[in-house]
Amino acid sequence: MNVFILDDDENIVLALYKMIERSGLPLEKTIDSCSPADALEFVTERRPDIILTDIRMPGMTGLAFIEELKRRGCRSKVLFMSGYKDFEYASEAIRLGAQDYLVKPFNEQRLTSALASVMEVIAQERRQAYERETLLKKSMYHSLTTGYQWELASGSVSGQSEEADSGLVYYVLAIDLSLPSELTPDERSAFEAKLRAWEKRPALAKFGALLVYDDVSRLALVYTDACNGTAGRETEARWNTIRREIEEGLEVVANVGVSSPLGSSAELPRGYEEARKASQRMYFAGEAAIYVHAEGAGEDELPADPFESSKLTEALMLGKQAEARMLLARGFERFRASGQGDREAVVRACRQLLARVQGQAPRRGDAETPEKFETAAELQAWMAVKLEEAAVTAKDAAASPDDLTIAKIKQYCQAHIGEDITLQHVAEFAGYNKAYFSSYFKKKTGASFWDYLTGLRVEKAKEMLEKTTLNAYEIGQAIGYHNPSHFGKMFKQTVGCTPAEYKAAIAGFAQ
């Protein structure tokens, strides 16, 4: 915050600034001193947070000074000071909205107390304004993106009568920012503050733009233009300017979808849908850019099962990898051509396909999941590899239905290794009762189910001891042993040494 002091005695002004400096209050001074006439222009332009002014000055009283500032729209908080305990002055000061009235002479404690009170009032008003603005933005964003009660919200966008509205053309920009997928609360607050500061840059005001958002990584921007037939290069230049302002001001990469020109503010929800659909082309194009809505583009019907999962699974089980790749590619192309190829929909379909083929979809904590790929091309390449791995497993297990069942059971155990796997649960997964499953598994593999599961977990523990910095407790948790002593005992019985001794031996061998 800053403070402006006005008094016809320059020495008093300087003394007051020194008192403020000694007080330790976080207040910056704006200017040393000036006449009331010069001060009018200075304050009108700079709008200080606090004005501390004398009442009696030659040429213009402090009361007249503040009254003129109010007429000019200045909302600075005012503290009056005077050597007179004149009731008339005090009552006039109250009428003008004075925060306090300091009678000269006053000491530093009185000044500090008055300034601190005003600063708290300003801080409270800013908090309330911030909360109101946040609520308004979220409400506007919700109305814009869903169309719900848009007829009530749209007046805040246009600010125009129907007659004036008819002379404007509107555009909606759907903007996605390249932020980390998981921001901490402090990081989110810091970026939102940065976004709020960016909103005040001249570019938005110049285009008459309104920015609304709920999530700071996904914005919606509405701007207006006169219906003067100058669309085309000039309008495209504006989109480029806005995108450049975003990327330079917020230091992020911005992907922008743009709606078609809209004839009234009532059409803005439709414009948002157009802009959002246009922005989704980035996922398939592979780079952030400006994507403009094209009528009729991306409107092919999307089948309920884009990947033809039954055919794809059958091809994998028969070892027909080329056919499986073709079906996978065709599914991605269907998403692209339908205009419904937003990242969430594609990822969801891929997870469902993997769950069908592997018996288990990737878990969120896995090293690689469909969510971690920025483009459809990257996800498609990864899916092809994962499906080929499943094809190899299927081919190895294809000798008989029994072998295929055992392979699926092993896949299930690998996918759920960190969970509390029970014989009953796995038997139900395989479609058998517990007693039959136990003898069935040993007959087909030559080992009991528990011996197999213990061996699987030990091998995983050894791998983690060799390749990670996790301690024994963390590794035990990761492979399904939630009792540390049980994990240590099992590991030693199987390997012949404790997890710590194994890790030390591996480290010594590496040296």
What is the reported pLDDT for 171? 86
Share of the chain above pLDDT 70, in %: 79
Query: What is the average per-residue pLDDT within 58-72?
Result: 81
What is the reported pLDDT for 409? 86
Query: What is the average per-residue pLDDT within 418-442?
Result: 87
Query: What is the average per-residue pLDDT within 341-348?
Result: 80
Q: Which of 296-305, 337-346, 357-366, 419-428 has the lowest mean pLDDT?
A: 357-366
Q: Which is higher by pLDDT, 127 or 158?
A: 127
Instruction: Bin 97: left if φ > 0, else alpha if -120 < ψ < 50, else beta.
Output: left
Query: What is the average per-residue pLDDT within 8-24?
Result: 87
In the CATH hierarchy, which fold is given to the domain comprising 164-292? Alpha-Beta Plaits (3.30.70)
Q: What is the pLDDT of residues 407-419, one digit of tens each?
A: 888 888 888 888 8
Given the structure tokens 């995108």, which residue do they identify? 243
C-alpha–C-alpha distance, residues 322 and 306, integer Å: 18
SS3 of residue 78 by DSSP: strand
Query: What is the average per-residue pLDDT within 315-327?
Result: 82
Going from N- to C-terminal start, the domains of the chain cover 2-123, 164-292, 298-396, 399-511
Strands (E), 39-190: 50-54, 77-82, 100-103, 168-177
For residue 262, the 8-state DSSP code is B
C-alpha–C-alpha distance, residues 4 and 45, integer Å: 13
Q: What are phi and psi of 364, to 5 degrees?
A: -60, -30
Share of the chain above pLDDT 90, in %: 3
Q: Length of the chain in residues, anyone?
A: 511
What is the reported pLDDT for 279? 85
Query: What is the average per-residue pLDDT within 65-70?
Result: 82
Q: Which is higher by pLDDT, 435 or 507?
A: 435
Across 79-93, 208-222, 464-478, the highest mean pLDDT is recorded for: 464-478
Residue 510 has pLDDT above 60, yes or no: no
**Alpha helices (H) along 24-107:** 36-46, 62-71, 87-95
Q: Which is higher by pLDDT, 400 or 103?
A: 103
Q: Which is higher by pLDDT, 282 or 298?
A: 282
Which positions ≥6 away from 220 have C-beta within 8 Å? 141, 144, 145, 172, 173, 174, 175, 211, 212, 213, 272, 275
Residue 455 has pLDDT above 80, yes or no: yes
Cα distances from 329 to residues 302, 381, 435, in angstroms, run 14, 9, 44
Tokens representing 6?
A: 């006005």
Q: Which of 219-233, 351-365, 428-442 has the lowest mean pLDDT?
A: 219-233
C-alpha–C-alpha distance, residues 15 and 5, integer Å: 11
Residue 501 has pLDDT above 60, yes or no: yes
Q: What is the pLDDT of residues 108-127, one digit of tens each?
A: 898 999 999 999 998 888 87
Q: What is the pLDDT of residues 197-217, one digit of tens each?
A: 887 776 666 666 777 777 777
Write the single-letter amino acid at 60. M
Which positions ≥6 away from 189 have C-beta within 8 Å? none
The C-alpha torsion from 489 through 493 and 494 to 500, rounded to 10°, is: 50
Task: Answer whether 0.85 is exceeded by the pTM.
Answer: no
- Mutual angle of helices 423-430 and 434-445, in 10-degree steps: 80
Q: How confident is the model at residue 152 (pLDDT cuts 50, 70, 90)?
A: very low
Is 217 within 8 Å of 177 (Cβ atoms)? Answer: yes
Burial of residue 503 (number of CB atoms within 10 Å: 0-12, 13-18, 19+): buried
Tokens representing 249?
A: 């001001």
Q: Mean pLDDT over all residues of the chain? A: 79
Q: Enumerate the β-bridge partners of residue 4.
A: 51
What is the reported pLDDT for 113? 92
Q: Which of 29-38, 53-62, 277-286 has the lowest mean pLDDT?
A: 29-38
Residue 165 has pLDDT above 80, yes or no: no
Given the structure tokens 């189910």, which residue do they identify? 449
What is the reported pLDDT for 66? 83
Query: What is the average per-residue pLDDT within 92-100?
Result: 78
Burial of residue 142 (number of CB atoms within 10 Å: 0-12, 13-18, 19+): middle
Query: What is the average per-residue pLDDT within 175-186?
Result: 82
274-280 long-range contacts (CB < 8 A, ≥24 apart) are 274/172, 275/172, 275/173, 275/174, 275/220, 276/145, 276/174, 276/342, 277/339, 278/174, 279/174, 279/175, 279/176, 279/255, 280/339, 280/341, 280/342, 280/343
Tokens representing 63?
A: 């009361």
Residue 295 has pLDDT above 70, yes or no: no
Query: What is the average per-residue pLDDT within 420-445?
Result: 86
CATH class of 399-511: mainly alpha
CATH of 2-123, one of 3.30.70.260, 3.30.390.50, 3.40.50.2300, 1.10.274.10: 3.40.50.2300
What is the reported pLDDT for 159? 46
- Mutual angle of helices 87-95 and 62-71, in 10-degree steps: 10
Residue 255 has pLDDT above 80, yes or no: yes
Q: What is the pLDDT of residues 355-395, one digit of tens each?
A: 777 765 566 556 678 888 888 889 999 998 888 777 666 55
C-alpha–C-alpha distance, residues 55 and 6, integer Å: 9
